[in-house]
């Protein structure tokens, strides 16, 4: 049987893999290529320098790479006019002339069995007369993220802005996804949310983690260290960590005075870093998150907004780090409270759960071993890629 020819269009360059979406997409692409059943062409923004630097990693993900010149980064003030667009602000930013031209030329020059658009944002790059099978890889129910921000924003103006964006995203997401042969969701929960809105083409894949890279080791003893990992230029992470530092951390330090909180992730906002809260440190971007997380006795996911699933949870579990998370932080992942992690919602619950992990070595060991066994059995990246591959084949057959 000949390999299926796949064009995979991402609105972001996947390296460095410093955000959950990049990690998830990279894991899927590597798994698809390793299967030998797919001929993969990856398209995304990239400078020539980026392509040269990351060529070995690109070779692990695809047979060929087509890049277009990225747009210069813009400040929030420069992006403010996008708020007036009919498109959600983060979607409008992805529709650049360079991106549209590159995608149109590539899809016109070669016939692909299926074209995959990574994130619903990438739907703005879809040519109007694109034929054949198409798939949208949705990492979140995007409108839900905006709606949750609208509920937690600290001012009336910000709540209004998030609510306005939520309405635009709800409309865009519904109309865009209806145009695809198949929609890939990252959890059964998200697939059911799409189905409730009338979308019958959504299929779920498990969240996959690279079990070789994130090797297990027993939880650390010694100094009480709490770790959070995630891109600190993503609003949901900023909101969660601000909440944890301002409301939860003082309660933790009151019980464990020498506790240390390490926030690992790129671009932490100066408003948090410059506060110099006792026991709190920010690493900024790191080459390897494992080096900064291995000695932790607790891995916290204090998110109050967000969507999709948090791949950071399975990475932590694969490494053997005991996890404490809010319901939203663990949302969509098939794990059990008290067996694989500790669920804690609200200030006091999060503080108490964190302190339990810092104090109880037996509990840390129990959670660590059970969580690693679970991800080994059901959530390796090759398992997720195999399900994704079957959906691609289903899309081609449905379009035939």
Name the packing angle between helices 361-378 and 347-359 (round to 10°). Answer: 100
pLDDT at residue 390 in the model = 96
Q: What is the pLDDT of residues 34-84, one digit of tens each?
A: 999 999 999 999 999 999 999 999 999 999 999 999 987 766 666 667 777
Question: Quick check: do 4-208+380-399 and 225-378 share a fold?
Answer: yes
Domain extent listing, the chain: 4-208+380-399, 225-378
Residue range 211-221: average pLDDT? 89
Continuous segment of H or E residues that includes residue 254: helix 249-255
- For 327-340, the pLDDT digits (tens) are 999 988 889 999 99
Instruction: Render pLDDT for 219-249 as a digit per residue (tens, 0 to 9).
Output: 988 899 999 999 898 888 999 999 999 999 9
Residue 1 pLDDT > 60: no
Q: Which structure tokens are listed for 214?
A: 């994130």
Span 368-390, pLDDT tens digits: 999 999 998 888 888 889 999 99
Span 351-362, average pLDDT: 97
Work out the angle at residue 235's Cα, subtended by the Cα atoms of residues 27 and 252, and round it to the nearest 5 degrees. 95
**Model pLDDT, residue 94:** 85
Least confident of 25-29, 195-199, 380-384, 394-398: 380-384
Say which CATH superfamily domain 4-208+380-399 falls into: Glycogen Phosphorylase B; (3.40.50.2000)
Q: Is the pLDDT of residue 400 over 80?
A: no
pTM of the model: 0.77
As a whole number, mean pLDDT of residues 166-171 equals 92
For residue range 268-281, what is the model confidence (pLDDT) as tens digits?
Answer: 999 999 988 999 99
The 3 state secondary structure assigned to the chain is CCCEEEEEECCCCCCCCCCHHHHHHHHHHHHHHHHCCEEEEEEEECCHHHHHHCHHHHHHHCCEEEEECCCCCCCHHHHHHHHHCCCCHHHHCCCCHHHHHHHHHHHHHCCCCEEEEECHHHHHHCCCCCCCEEEEECCCCHHHHHHHHHHHCCCHHHHHHHHHHHHHHHHHHHHHHCCCCEEEECCHHHHHHHHHCCCCCEEECCCCECCCCCCCCCCCCCCCEEEEECCCCCHHHHHHHHHHHHHHHHHHHHHCCCCEEEEECCCCCHHHHCCCCCCEEEEECCCCCHHHHCCCCEEEECCCCCCCCCHHHHHHHHHCCCEEECCCCCCCCCCCECCCEEECCCHHHHHHHHHHHHHCHHHHHHHHHHHHHHHHHHCEHHHHHHHHHHHHHHHHHHHC
Residue 162 has pLDDT above 60, yes or no: yes
User: Is the CATH number 3.40.50.20 carried by domain 225-378?
Assistant: no
Residue 78 is predicted with a pLDDT of 63
Contact 307, 333 (CB under 8 A): no
Give counts: helices (H), strands (E), the chain: 17, 13
């Amino acid at each position: 049987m000949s390999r299926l020819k796949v064009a995979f269009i991402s609105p972001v360059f996947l390296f460095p893999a410093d955000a959950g979406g990049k990690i998830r997409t990279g894991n899927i692409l590597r798994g698809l290529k390793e299967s030998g059943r797919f001929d993969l062409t990856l398209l995304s923004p990239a400078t020539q320098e980026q392509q040269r630097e990351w060529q070995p990693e690109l070779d692990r993900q695809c047979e060929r790479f087509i890049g277009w010149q990225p747009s210069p980064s813009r400040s929030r003030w420069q992006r403010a006019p996008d708020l007036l667009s009919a498109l959600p602000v983060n979607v409008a930013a992805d529709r650049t002339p360079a991106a549209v031209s590159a995608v149109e030329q590539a899809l016109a020059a070669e016939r692909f069995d299926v074209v995959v658009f990574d994130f619903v944002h990438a739907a703005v790059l879809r040519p109007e007369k694109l034929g054949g099978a198409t798939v949208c890889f949705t990492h979140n129910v995007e409108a839900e993220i905006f709606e949750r921000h609208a509920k937690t924003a600290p001012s009336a103006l910000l709540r209004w802005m998030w609510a306005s964006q939520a309405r635009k995203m709800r409309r865009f997401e519904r109309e865009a996804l209806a145009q695809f042969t198949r929609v890939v969701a990252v959890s059964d929960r998200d697939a059911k949310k799409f189905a409730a809105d009338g979308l019958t083409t959504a299929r779920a894949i498990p969240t996959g983690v690279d079990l070789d890279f994130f090797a297990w080791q027993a939880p650390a003893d010694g100094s009480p260290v709490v770790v959070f990992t995630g891109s600190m230029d993503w609003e949901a992470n900023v909101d969660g960590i601000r909440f944890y530092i301002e409301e939860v951390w003082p309660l933790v330090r009151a019980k464990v005075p020498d506790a240390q909180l390490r926030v690992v992730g790129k671009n932490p906002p100066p408003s948090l870093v410059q506060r110099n809260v006792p026991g709190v440190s920010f690493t900024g971007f790191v080459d390897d998150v494992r080096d900064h997380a291995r000695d932790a006795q607790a891995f916290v996911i204090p998110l109050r907004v967000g969507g999709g699933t948090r791949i950071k949870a399975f990475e932590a579990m694969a490494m053997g780090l005991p996890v404490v998370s809010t319901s939203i932080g663990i949302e969509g992942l098939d794990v059990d409270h008290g067996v694989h992690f500790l669920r804690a919602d609200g200030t006091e619950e999060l503080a108490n759960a964190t302190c339990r992990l810092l104090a109880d070595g037996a509990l840390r060991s129990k959670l660590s071993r059970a969580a690693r066994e679970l991800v080994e059995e059901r959530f390796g990246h090759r398992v997720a890629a195999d399900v994704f591959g079957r959906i691609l084949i289903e899309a081609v057959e449905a379009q035939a």
